[in-house]
Amino acid sequence: MASVETVPVQRRALSKVMHAVGKIQYNETGLATVVTRVDGFIEKLFVDTTGVRVHKGDHLAEIYSQDLAVAQRELLLARSSPGGVANLLESTKAKMRQWGVTDAEIEKILQTGKALPYLTRYAPIAGTVTEKMVVAGSFVNRGDVLYRLANLDSVWAALELYEYEISWVQPGQPVELTAEAWPGQTIHGLVTFISPVLKEDTRTITVRVNVDNRAGTLKPGMFVSALIRVQLLADGTPGPTGLAGQFMCPMHPHIVQPTGGTCPLCGMTLQQLPGRAVTVTPEALQVLAVPVSAVLDSGQRRLVYVEKARGEFVPVEISLGPRAGEFYAVVSGLHAGDHVAVRGNFLLDSQFQITGQPSLLSQEGMSPAAHTH
């Protein structure tokens, strides 16, 4: 008549799911600034608008510099002078290299005996021109910025997670991202950095996710929603990412190897992920779980009602791990096969309180309630 419903406690695979929002940012390792190293006039701009994609080594601008013209004449004089000028020749080459003249251009000057009319500035990286700071014909001083470039083949998603969630996040963890611009499409990334500083105003911590963006799907400034799934071990602790102790390229997180070295794509030194390699068996991922609806929580105690025989229930205080969806991980108090009440358990607890037996509000029990007419 009380419609009490029970289910058996079982072991099952559990995953804690965390939702977060974030914003797409430039990958700082893929930014570059093109500056002039000499005073001069912008004679020609090969890239005259922002948003243009360039390859590494593409010419960007030509600069006429009086200082460079003098240095080239010194170079040719040093080459043609008889003996004893090797030091002068090398010092002139070094000076021209500091001004941005390439070795190939220096050799061309020496072979042809003709000075280059202009100094050409080349793209130091492949990427997109995000800022153009000059126009043709303008005068520039040494150190002035000509262009800013950004390689958007890899971007960062800066996520904001609450402080109580941060213990579940580890470097190397996979993250699923979605953007309003691409409904229904899931974009995958990896956690590469966790901020050591908490934002006191929002009580959140920034988590950086590196995303392969060679398809050009994500644009800096976009908002994204993130989903992080963490498998639970049998003791209710987070499962390993599978990458702990291995070495990852900060620029290309898909480059992961068991030993150190350099990235084959960009040459950067691989960084070791924290933790140690752990092999997890399928049995270790089977967590003793109890439905959320079976747990009565007073804020200080948590208990469930276990059916010992048909129609006979006893309260059992339990210790729980994290919540994963509609289940709690059980740390202690229950065993696989125990039947717990998932419906009518509040009615059972009320009956125990009325009869003065131990219940959720009274661990030792109380005197039965007085009845009045």
Rounded to whole angstroms, how far apart are CA atoms 66 and 142? 13
79: confidence class by pLDDT, cuts 50, 70, 90:
confident
Q: Is 110 exposed, middle or buried (0-12, 13-18, 19+ CB in 10 A)?
A: middle
Residue 108's pLDDT is what? 85
Selected from 1.10.260.40, 2.40.420.20, 3.40.50.2020, 3.40.50.2030, the CATH number assigned to the domain covering 5-12+286-354 reads: 2.40.420.20
pTM of the entire structure?
A: 0.78
Rounded to whole angstroms, how far apart are CA atoms 319 and 10? 16
The pLDDT tens digits of the residues spanning 27-67 come to 998 899 999 999 999 999 999 999 999 999 999 999 998 88
Rounded to whole angstroms, how far apart are CA atoms 22 and 159? 4
State which amino acid sits at residue 355.
T
The pLDDT tens digits of the residues spanning 167-208 come to 899 888 899 999 999 998 999 999 988 999 999 999 999 999
Q: Name 325's Cβ contacts closer than 8 Å, sequence gap at least 6.
A: 14, 15, 17
Output phi, psi for 352, to 5 deg: -65, -40
Q: Mean pLDDT, to the nearest integer, of 10-14? A: 92
Q: Is 32 exposed, middle or buried (0-12, 13-18, 19+ CB in 10 A)?
A: middle
Q: Mean pLDDT, to the nearest integer, of 316-320? A: 92
CATH number of 29-150: 2.40.50.100
Selected from 3.40.47.10, 2.30.110.10, 3.40.50.1100, 2.40.30.170, the CATH number assigned to the domain covering 15-28+154-272 reads: 2.40.30.170
The pLDDT tens digits of the residues spanning 128-167 come to 999 999 999 999 999 999 999 999 999 999 999 999 999 8
Residue 31's pLDDT is what? 93
Residue 84's pLDDT is what? 46
**Domain map (residue ranges) of the chain:** 5-12+286-354, 15-28+154-272, 29-150
Rounded to whole angstroms, how far apart are CA atoms 112 and 275? 59
The pLDDT tens digits of the residues spanning 227-257 come to 999 988 888 888 887 777 788 887 777 788 8
